Amino acid sequence: MKKRKAKIADKKKRGEWVELKFMAEAAERNLPACKPFGDSENFDVVVGRTGKFVAVQVKCTVFRSKNGEGYMCSVCSSNNIYKAGAFDFLVGYVVPEDAWYILPAKEIEGMRSVSLMTPTSKYEGYREAWHLLHAAVGTGVETAREQAAAVSEPSVAEEAASQFSPFSAFGRMEKAMKEIQDRLTGGGLRPPKSRDEG
């Protein structure tokens, strides 16, 4: 797999970009997400539906660990450790690897950074763990990508049936022909004989 390069050099702009990217990824997975007005809260995005919301802090990294194994991701704000209860989940995005980590807040309490994409890291179990957000907000786990695939790739039988749907042109024509035939045969009238029937 080809690694991505960070195209946005400015750290703040890259942070804004990853928040938007996270919201798009969440939406594709049937996880409604919205951005609160302003940036004075300890969370960046709210995910969920009425009655079940979770606060999400979104981070990204492009920095390799000193030993070259994995990436270091900051989990603090301007070198200040987040207080307990500041948010429910921290989402870390490893830009070069196009990998998401969904970390419950309790897993990173009191920490300044975590190592991601490291085979021996305890955080590997949280890689692409979107199911944790689904469970927290009570949404189904079927993703919008799967739904789109099901809609865009109908079976042969569905395609054949859709051609004769009452809403398709073929379906409307078929219905009109059937009505004409019913009127001709049901009203004592018979359709005209073809020349071959003579």
In a 3-state reduction of DSSP, which class is residue 57? Answer: strand
Residues 155-190 have pLDDT tens digits of: 444 444 444 444 555 566 667 667 777 777 765 555
Residues 97-116 have pLDDT tens digits of: 999 999 999 998 988 888 89
Beta bridge partners of 181: none
Alpha-carbon 158 to chain mean position: 26
Q: Do strands 45-49 and 52-61 pair parallel, antiparallel, or not at all (unpaired)?
A: antiparallel
Q: How many helices (H) and strands (E) does the chain have?
A: 5, 9
* pLDDT for the residue numbered 121: 82
Class of domain 11-150: alpha beta
Distance between CA 183 and CA 177 in Å, rounded? 10
Q: Where are the domains of the chain?
A: 11-150, 154-186
